[in-house]
Amino acid sequence: MRIGFFVWEYPPRLVGGLGTYAEYITREFVELGHDVTVFTLNPGNLKTREIVKGVEVHRPLIADASNVFPFIVTEDLRRWGTNIRFFNDIFIYNILSATKFINQLIRKDGINYDVVCVHDWLSCIAGMTIKNETKIPVVFHVHSTEWGRS
């Protein structure tokens, strides 16, 4: 099975348990004979594409468009203050990842994926974009539902 895997944290960039989960489950998929392509956030100092223990990892470089968001988002989001940069990074990661996945890997390179897995709300924009543009099944994996975490 060929799996597209979208998760905002992946080694070596770990913030919490999600990145650890992603690292181990993708390696297990590879050991079971599946092809796994991960799209994850790039803090700016990592390779944009590499193979890590059999897992193909894409980390698009992020552009800062945070000065635009106050004009196009709700008042609640504008109150994030300097944290709007975090929203920027997540939003741009989702758009760049979905665009590369759809336009390069699927349309240009002709790679056929069996399923796409998106993890938590931090990758759901990519998943919704892929679902809108392709016929690939998309699985949305919620990792945390407690207040303040989802």
Q: Which residue's structure tokens are 């924009």?
A: 125
Q: Could you give the C-alpha distances from 114 to 10, 45, 106, in angstroms and in order?
A: 22, 31, 11
Measured distance CA(6)–CA(38) in Å, rounded? 6
Q: What is the pLDDT of residues 71-125, one digit of tens each?
A: 888 888 778 777 888 889 999 999 999 999 999 999 999 999 999 999 988 899 9
Q: What is the pLDDT of residues 16-56, one digit of tens each?
A: 889 999 999 999 999 999 999 999 999 999 999 999 999 99
| 149 part of a folded domain | no
Output the pLDDT for position 130: 97
CATH at 114: 3.40.50.2000
Measured distance CA(79)–CA(62) in Å, rounded? 22
Domain containing 106 equals 2-141
With bands split at pLDDT 50, 70 and 90, how would you rate the model's confidence at 149?
low
Helix (H, G, I), strand (E, B) or coil at 110: coil
- pTM for this predicted structure: 0.90
What is the number of domains present in the chain? 1
